[in-house]
Structure 1
């Protein structure tokens, strides 16, 4: 059962990290149901999150090389570059570092996650319903202004339960990108942001790690990595067909479950 807990939580993390449904909310709910809520559980969540991040790196390795300038362009045309990523990282990066202690101390609770689930779902519905003019059909057509604007929306994800992908994809739509362009940009920006945040958390909680738990953590990491790869590919196909609205309604269902299983 020890390893089944790691595999189940790894699956939940891999499935939800890049979907606009809040991986934090799902992990808290699942961990509570599995009675895995001690300090070691918090460290485990950081480790499996790194597994999900690795999935993006593997799937988009060519794009990362291009962004870093390590892949020669055959055709000279406007392309997504490192400045786009930096501009999108700045708002949440600055705010996250400044408020890291406050967020961890006061916002990582069941009630705040419940609020984040509902508020994020409402934003996603609004982004789908409002009329807009699409100016970026693909990832390479995203402007610096749109990149920075998406970064501002990413700040909303500092509130647990809001969902990074939900906030940034909705923000991208409101700023004139397509669903696919916003989603892929979200994946790319998530890597440095999540590595930084997870690395900071890991430095503060590494004392919870021990050699006895190595197999448990590896099982969760590998599971999250494999599941996240399938989840990312499947999500892009679903997003093209169903848009954000079904995911918003799903968030409301999770919020109800969160209320009855965690808050009551």
Structure 2
């Protein structure tokens, strides 16, 4: 029963934080420490429940993903597969080259706390720098902006920095609206998360057992349901509040866990 409760809690945390600029990886690592749910089995579980969050975005943006299959690349075609490729390229290359180093050295409570604070500072900078918004909507995003977002996404390879926090900040600094940057982040995250999680799952296949199937399914379902709610809520919030509010939350979380863990 204890493991199933852990699965529900971790699934909720994953679904709630995966697409918010607060670092889902950081929250999962810190929550796992508090629940004493750690080790190779727990890491495999975290990979599995990420697919629940991915599925949530696929369902919510199914029409947008279907339109990408037209492979229109013209200037007036709106968001297309080239935007996605350019946004995936920088972080994808670095992740492949440094995957082992990142997993070995950066996945721990101390590095997460650093990432939470550093990512929060970046978000405040993105919020306060005066800029001209040239891309108000998702279909207005340029190839240059897509590549810039991809470069900022490399920061998310540091646990705690947050993929959405880094990419939304990058988009805003290069002239997208907060809402357009958030939606672009969600769409780009799907192939990246699916690919990265697939590789991790393949490497951790020895920890996949029939006995753990209920644990993984419960966590995945919890992540899917909560992520559906979180994404819709977050997009609406992006029209009303500044990114800095999420940065302040990150600072408070980092301080709280510093005193709890250390």
- Where on the TM-score scale, by shorter chain, does this alignment land: which range? over 0.9
Counterpart Cα distance in 2 of 1:175 and 1:64: 24
> C-alpha deviations, 1:94-124, integer Å up to 9, x for none?
0100000010011112211111000000000
DSSP 3-state at the match of 2:133: coil
- Aligned partner of 1:49 in structure 2 is 50
- Aligned partner of 1:226 in structure 2 is 225
Task: Give 1:83-232 correspondences, 5 Å limit.
Answer: 83-232=82-231
Q: CA deviation at 1:222?
A: 0.4
> C-alpha deviations, 1:148-187, integer Å up to 9, x for none?
0000000000011000000000000000000110000000
Counterpart Cα distance in 2 of 1:46 and 1:261: 25
8 Å CA contact 1:14, 1:223 repeated in 2? yes
- Aligned partner of 2:78 in structure 1 is 79
Can you give the 5+ residue segments of structure 1 that lack an aligned partner in the other structure? none
Counterpart Cα distance in 1 of 2:177 and 2:218: 36
> Runs of 4+ in structure 1 displaced over 3 angstroms?
none
Task: Return the TM-score normalized by structure 2.
Answer: 0.96
Can you give the 5+ residue segments of structure 2 that lack an aligned partner in the other structure? none
The CA RMSD over aligned residues, in Å, is 1.3
Q: CA deviation at 1:67?
A: 1.1
Task: Return the TM-score normalized by structure 1.
Answer: 0.96
- Aligned partner of 1:68 in structure 2 is 69
Q: CA deviation at 1:218?
A: 0.1
Counterpart Cα distance in 2 of 1:32 and 1:84: 38
> C-alpha deviations, 1:180-199, integer Å up to 9, x for none?
10000000100111111111
Counterpart Cα distance in 2 of 1:34 and 1:190: 28
Counterpart Cα distance in 1 of 2:39 and 2:108: 14
Q: CA deviation at 1:27?
A: 0.7
8 Å CA contact 1:78, 1:141 repeated in 2? no
Counterpart Cα distance in 2 of 1:19 and 1:255: 16
